Chain A
Amino acid sequence: MPETLLFYLLAGLAISASALVIGQRNPMYSVLLLIASFGALAGLYIQLDAPFVAVAQIIIYAGAIMVLFLFVVMLLNAPQEDAAPWDRTHQLRQPGVLRFGTLLAALLIVQLVWALGRAFGVDAPVASRAGGNVSSVRELGRVLFTDHMFAFEATSVLILVAMLGAVVLARREDEQ
């Protein structure tokens, strides 16, 4: 019973923090609420008997990526990220931008519905379906580098491309 209670507590925290991220005008609060949401997710991972995933979540998302986010927010030091209500010519008010945003939102809703629809068919816990112990780092590594090799390599290539793109963009000003 306490486990169920803890689950609803963590899930509620994750959902409300995520919802509040969008509601904030100040980007600093958004970043902090996102960190709180990640923390709650890590708690859920621990409940799923996957401490390694939980710790990795904290180290990578809360400890590294969000520090970079915070760094950028502080560097720009923008009190408001939205267009002011009177500013009709703001970049974010262009019709093209609005349509693209709507498209992305629609895509996200379709993905969510699809993913949740798949989740309803699952009746066995993840650990038993994977045929091993998810909490074991050894097993996780073995599965990652054998069964899911393609996905792993494709992701790393994707990250490499993004990194190269960032370097190219950052370099451009030098050459002028």
Chain B
Amino acid sequence: MDLRTAIQLGVIGLTFFMLINASALLVLAERKIMGFMQQRFGPYLVGPHGLLQPLADILKLLMKEELRPKGADKWLFTLAPILSITAAFAAFSTVPWGAETTFFGLLDQPVKLGVADVNVGVLVVFAITSMGVYGIVLAGWSSNSKYSLFGGLRASAQMISYELSYATALAAVILLAGSMSLREVVDAQAGTWLGVLPRWYVFLQPVGFIIYMIAGVAETNRAPFDFPEAEQELVAGYNTEYSSVRFALFPQAEYINMATMSAVATDLYLGGWHGPFLPAEYGWIWFLAKVGFILFAYIWVRWTVPRYRYDQLMTFGWKWLFPASVLNLLVTAALVLYFNA
């Protein structure tokens, strides 16, 4: 194995490692930010300022007994959390997170920061995230419990409804960039307008960005759209009957999905690793900063906005969000055609 292959494998391993850590850090960040918003400290006892709380949580969950209801479907009950976490990790496989780099002249040929570069990368991310719903639906069905079943039903209906708007918002960006490779979409956003404003697609696609973010919150089942596990109505929704590690995989998949959603939003709308002040070699710092900002917004929204009603969710998705995204796509297509002709 030559140096280049080793470094490429190292980059892939690093991506995986970052995703695992992202889920742990997001749990802590969520609780800390929630505490701040509710005027308390949040977790504070484990480690300095409660920084080791995620480790304690993981240890606690590992020690718990694994329970399976008597009437549950043995195979699907085990398969569901595995499907969830696999889809969550796999979805990140075509998301690039840094410019091509030679590691300060260490290599002759530059290495791309990211797992894989596919020419239909945007669609691959979308395809795999759309498979993630099966984990939740199967968990709901196989538990043989009414609360879980309702959680699973809600998840499937919600995902279908918001996937359409999500995909249509993506299509508008693909039209602008003229490519379905995420790396090429990011590189199309390099540079500035008039020397000041960065050429990010968020300025060309403000409506698309808002639609993407709303649909993204619904796709990852976060509040105010967390109907599959609405605590006040469904106990814990699809994961009511789960315990121990099997349970832990569901929230972990959710947090990794959040990270993926934010990373894709950064690549599509916020110029990825392009930004002022830093040389291209350090572009990944910009990338992490932007992803962190979007993730903060995710948590911010969760602890600010109350949950919708289920019929409001459906009405909003089909009667407002979807028409808006189709209109956005049509206008974008017309303008691209006009300015390119």
Interface residue ranges, A against B (CB under 8 Å): 28, 32, 35, 51-52, 55-56, 58-59, 62-64, 67-68, 70-71, 74-75, 77, 135, 137
Contacts and interface: CB of A to CB of B under 8 A. Distances in A.
Interface stretch (B22-30, B122-130, B245-253, B261-269): B122-130
Contacts of A77: 149
B163 A64 contact: yes
B81 to A, nearest CB: 15
A51 B120 contact: yes
> Which one of A62, A63, A64, A70 has the greatest number of beta carbons of chain B within 10 Å?
A63
Nearest to B127: A58
Nearest to B174: A137
A170 to B, nearest CB: 14
Contacts of A59: 123, 126-127, 130, 167
Contacts of A67: 130, 133-134, 137, 156, 159-160
B118 interface: yes
B180 interface: yes
A59 B160 CA distance: 11
Given A71-B156, A74-B153, A77-B149, A63 B141 contact: no
Contact of B153 (A32, A55, A71): A71
Nearest to A69: B156
Contacts of B149: 74, 77
Nearest to B157: A71
A55 B137 contact: no
Given A67-B134, A74-B149, 16 more contacts: A28-B76, A32-B76, A51-B118, A52-B123, A55-B126, A56-B123, A58-B130, A58-B131, A59-B167, A63-B163, A67-B160, A71-B157, A74-B140, A74-B141, A74-B152, A74-B156
A144 B106 CA distance: 47
A115 to B, nearest CB: 27
B119 interface: yes
B130 A64 contact: yes
Contacts of B134: 35, 67, 70
Contacts of B152: 74
Nearest to B132: A63
B153 A52 contact: no
Interface string B135-165: 0011011000000010011001101100100
B123 A55 contact: yes
Contact of A55 (B124, B138, B140, B163): B124
A93 B167 CA distance: 44
A53 to B, nearest CB: 10
Contacts of B160: 64, 67-68, 71
Contacts of A55: 120, 123-124, 126-127
A47 B31 CA distance: 46
Nearest to A53: B120
Interface in B50-81: 73, 76
B180 A63 contact: no
A28 B80 CA distance: 13
A62 B124 CA distance: 13
Interface centre among A32, A56, A67, A70 (most CB of B within 10 A): A67
Contact of A137 (B138, B140, B180): B180
19 contacts: A28-B141, A52-B120, A55-B124, A58-B127, A58-B130, A59-B127, A62-B131, A63-B130, A63-B131, A63-B133, A67-B130, A67-B137, A67-B156, A67-B159, A74-B140, A74-B141, A74-B149, A77-B149, A137-B120
A29 to B, nearest CB: 8
Nearest to A136: B119
A28 B124 CA distance: 26
